[in-house]
Amino acid sequence: MSAKVKDTAIFIDLENVYYGLKKYHMDPDHPDETHNLFLRLQEYYGREAIRMVEAYADFEQLEISMMSLQKKRVHVHQVYGNGRDGKERKNAADIQLCLDAMEVLHQIPEIHTFVIVSADQDMIPLLDRLWSKGKRVELFCLYDESLSRSAQLHEFCDNTHNLFEFLNIREFQTLSRVDRLIHNAVVQIYEWYHDPNNIGKSYGSTWIKNDFMRKFHVTDLEANELFTKLLKGKYIVPVEIEMDDKTYYGYKVNLSHPQVQLMVKIAGYKVS
């Protein structure tokens, strides 16, 4: 029996995907295989068909292990950006990705399927060029408000995949701003208690609201409304902590709440 031809090349704009998923407290190298981008791609296309998996990012800016990716047979490319965050961050990874994909197009003709993982509209010329050269082109991207409706990316591909569905997190695809804040707040409170510096401490309402304003860039009124929604929806519950013969009052996430369990699991934590 002849070996199966390795005719698939996967190119991941990891910086783009990382920050896209970060809004949902989602790690592309998730500990759960059903949510792990790299393992899901290998499962979907088959290891025997994949010639290469290339991932591009400024890894100094990302909280992700290069060694973990390399163990998954992912070839990592360190691409230095401008070192800034948010709107000021310039993604240089997509440029290097396009250059390498074009090099593979011309130097490895047996590659029939090009898989691009990114939601960047700058990829359209690459997708069009690969497709016009007779290659099969498949695109993976997050179908949320960050994806331009005018881009019509599907017109430049043989197939498009919704990363929310592919990574089994479709529950987060249609989150409103309020729902997103609730999700972020739940994970924020959960992670506060996981911080070694906070062992034995209580997270009081004033501190919680102040952190909401600082981390989510909301007003004092919005922070109060968010805290009220968490309480009324039973996403959080009051707790009492005894320390130095004193009682301190605070709030923890309600891990008996199904939605809270899902949020915490998607963020990469095990819920017993």
Averaged over successive runs of 10 residues, the pLDDT of the chain (272 residues) comes to 75 92 89 94 95 94 92 93 52 87 96 90 87 94 67 78 90 80 94 91 94 92 95 94 82 94 88 74
Same domain, residue pair 77 and 150: yes
Identify any residues that bridge with 117 across adjacent strands, giving them in sequence order: 12, 140
**Position 1 in a domain:** no
pLDDT of residue 102: 96
Same domain, residue pair 121 and 205: no
pLDDT of residue 200: 84
Same domain, residue pair 260 and 190: yes
pLDDT of residue 87: 43
Q: Which structural domain range is residue 62 located in?
A: 8-172
Q: Which of 132, 119, 126 is nearest to 160 (CA)?
A: 119
pLDDT of residue 86: 45
Angle between helices 220-232 and 177-194 (to 10 degrees): 80
User: What is the per-residue pLDDT across 24-76, written as a single tens digit (0 to 9) for each?
Assistant: 888 999 999 999 999 999 999 999 999 999 999 999 888 899 999 999 999 99
Same domain, residue pair 67 and 108: yes
Number of structural domains in the chain? 2
Separation CA 169–CA 144 (nearest Å): 12
pLDDT of residue 47: 92
Q: Residue type for 31, please? A: P
Computed on alpha carbons and rounded to an integer, the radius of gyration of the chain in Å comes to: 21
